Amino acid sequence: MNKGLLFIISGFSGAGKGTIVEAFLERNLDVKLSISATTRECRECEIEGVHYNYISRESFENMIKNGDMFEYATYVGNYYGTPKSFVMKELEKGNDVILEIEMQGALQVKEMYDDAIMIFVVPPHAKDLKDRLLNRGTEGIDIINNRLKRSYEETELMLNYDYLLVNDQLDDAIKSLEGIRCAEKIKYKRFLYLKDKFKEELKEIID
Amino acid sequence: MNKGLLFIISGFSGAGKGTIVEAFLERNLDVKLSISATTRECRECEIEGVHYNYISRESFENMIKNGDMFEYATYVGNYYGTPKSFVMKELEKGNDVILEIEMQGALQVKEMYDDAIMIFVVPPHAKDLKDRLLNRGTEGIDIINNRLKRSYEETELMLNYDYLLVNDQLDDAIKSLEGIRCAEKIKYKRFLYLKDKFKEELKEIID
């Protein structure tokens, strides 16, 4: 059996990658979503194991020490990271896994797992980012500007991605993601062993 | 506008690539099929412009001389080849083009047009090739054995292909081909110019 595929989905803040991933998972129930771990407290609106796995600082630091984190970062004094064990276990079982993760972390994972398929989500126009962030209404203009500045600084990192998913119509974006999955599954590099199998089989049936 | 994509479809004799291509084209009317040119005579069951473009030896040799053939070969004293002009014109118009072509020719095209997407069709098992060739009932066992021997010799060339399409269920094979098309359309390498466009746009909207 072939291993599962690891899809890394990144995108500028406000590009709508969360919405795409959620809708994709609803239609592709056999795909697993990797949940990040964090040391920050669970907010009232959040659910353990859905938004994050909330773990102690000690556990997190132990996982770092043991190489059990694919990537991690600190933000406002808390750790955020991607535990390796869940991802690797599912891939070994033949299940495809999605990582929704920012660019710096994505590149760290790619470095450790070169087979990862890198997908970058963009809106049709950059101004859509600002509109969406403003419409969310959860952040002030200063934070929004910081997010946009970070996007600006990170554009060069787009070069590390395999696919560009333009989030114009949600349904089209999901179909594109399904197309990527379908195509990646039949990449010849995943079936190199079939060449020799066919050669053997052909040899046997030639009279 | 982006250029169209060139799909090269090859496969062992009897793998069913003709059936897949035909069914794919019926469902994807905007994709163009490249028709080979030949100097052999049109058979009664064949239609000019559907099975081949039948042209004179003089025309064919002129096209070779002028570099108007993507690839060509001779077989039983006749020329067979892929005229370049149709393919290039459609790609420039933004249309996707399919070339259904044997492996040697496929590699010649790939050498001249590196963006070509190489798809190799195989049956689930090599013995299916023999069964299908026998069931066609159009060729004697000697010719069938020659075809199988040729397939055997050409297995190493599979390494030049990007995708492996297992022709088990026709409908699945078509969906896979559609998935490849969908994924290849959003390969980031085709949108490198968008990086700078986004950078420019982001710069403008940051307060």
Side chain identity at B131, as an amino acid letter?
A: D
**Residue A191 to residue B164, Cβ atoms within 8 A:** yes
- Assembly ipTM: 0.89
Beta bridge partners of residue B69, listed in sequence order: B83
Show residues of chain A in contact with B127, CB under 8 Å: 201, 205
Q: How far, in Å, CA of B80 to CA of A198, rounded?
A: 28
Q: Looking at the partner chain, which of A156, A166, A206 has a beta carbon nearest the beta carbon of B152?
A: A206
Q: Looking at the partner chain, which of A180, A191, A205 has a beta carbon nearest the beta carbon of B130?
A: A205
| φ/ψ (deg, to 5) at A37 | -105, 150
Show residues of chain A in contact with B9, CB under 8 Å: none
The confidence score (pLDDT) of residue B135 equals 87
Nearest CA in chain B to A156: B195
Q: Does one domain contain both A147 and A175? A: yes
The confidence score (pLDDT) of residue B2 equals 85
The confidence score (pLDDT) of residue B206 equals 86
The confidence score (pLDDT) of residue B76 equals 85
Q: Does one domain contain both A85 and A135? A: no
Q: What is the CA radius of gyration of chain A?
A: 20
Question: How many folded domains does chain A comprise?
Answer: 2
Residues 6+ apart with CB under 8 A from B89: none
Q: Does B186 touch chain A (CB under 8 A)?
A: yes
The confidence score (pLDDT) of residue B59 equals 96
SS3 B52: strand
Q: Does one domain contain both A85 and A68? A: yes
Q: Does one domain contain both A16 and A83? A: no
Give the domain-ending residue among B95, B114, B129: B95
Q: Does one domain contain both A88 and A189? A: no
Measure A21 CA to nearest chain B CA, in Å.
17
Show residues of chain A in contact with B164, CB under 8 Å: 186-188, 191, 194
Q: How far, in Å, CA of A129 to CA of B146, rounded?
A: 61
The confidence score (pLDDT) of residue B26 equals 97
Q: Does one domain contain both B56 and B130? A: no
Helix, strand, coil percentages in chain B from 3-state DSSP, rounded to 5: 50, 20, 30
Query: Hunting for tokens 């909207």 — which residue is that?
Result: B205
Please count the residue pairs, one from chain A and one from chain B, whose beta carbons lie less than 8 angstroms apart: 143
Stated pTM of the model:
0.91
Q: Does one domain contain both A58 and A86? A: yes
Low-confidence ranges of chain A (pLDDT < 50): none
Residues 6+ apart with CB under 8 A from B138: none
**Residue B178 to residue A180, Cβ atoms within 8 A:** no
**Disruptive mutation site among B155, B174, B190, B204 for chain A (greatest number of A CBs within 10 Å):** B155
The confidence score (pLDDT) of residue B155 equals 93
**Residue A195 to residue B156, Cβ atoms within 8 A:** yes
**Residue B191 to residue A164, Cβ atoms within 8 A:** yes
The confidence score (pLDDT) of residue A184 equals 97
The confidence score (pLDDT) of residue A75 equals 86
Q: Does one domain contain both A47 and A148? A: no
Q: Does A193 touch chain B (CB under 8 A)?
A: no
Question: β-strands B69-75, B78-83: how paired?
Answer: antiparallel
Q: Does A205 touch chain B (CB under 8 A)?
A: yes
**Residue A186 to residue B202, Cβ atoms within 8 A:** no
Q: Does A165 touch chain B (CB under 8 A)?
A: yes
What's B16's domain CATH number? 3.40.50.300
Q: Does A186 touch chain B (CB under 8 A)?
A: yes
Show residues of chain B in contact with A178, CB under 8 Å: 179, 182
The confidence score (pLDDT) of residue A92 equals 97
Give the domain-ending residue among A78, A95, A112: A95
**Residue B202 to residue A152, Cβ atoms within 8 A:** yes
Q: Does one domain contain both B76 and B142? A: no
Q: Does one domain contain both B64 and B145? A: no
pLDDT tens for the 207 residues of chain B, in order:
789 999 999 999 889 999 999 999 999 999 999 999 999 998 888 899 898 999 999 999 999 999 999 999 998 899 999 999 999 999 999 999 999 999 999 999 999 999 999 999 999 999 999 888 888 878 888 888 888 998 999 999 999 999 999 999 999 999 999 999 999 999 999 888 889 999 999 999 887
The confidence score (pLDDT) of residue B107 equals 96
Q: Does one domain contain both B44 and B104? A: no
Give the domain-ending residue among A79, A95, A111: A95
What's B65's domain CATH number? 3.30.63.10
Measure A132 CA to nearest chain B CA, in Å.
13
**Residue B158 to residue A186, Cβ atoms within 8 A:** no
Beta bridge partners of residue A79, listed in sequence order: A74
Q: Name the residue range of residue B41's domain.
A: 35-95
Q: Does B134 touch chain A (CB under 8 A)?
A: no
Q: Does one domain contain both A148 and A200? A: yes
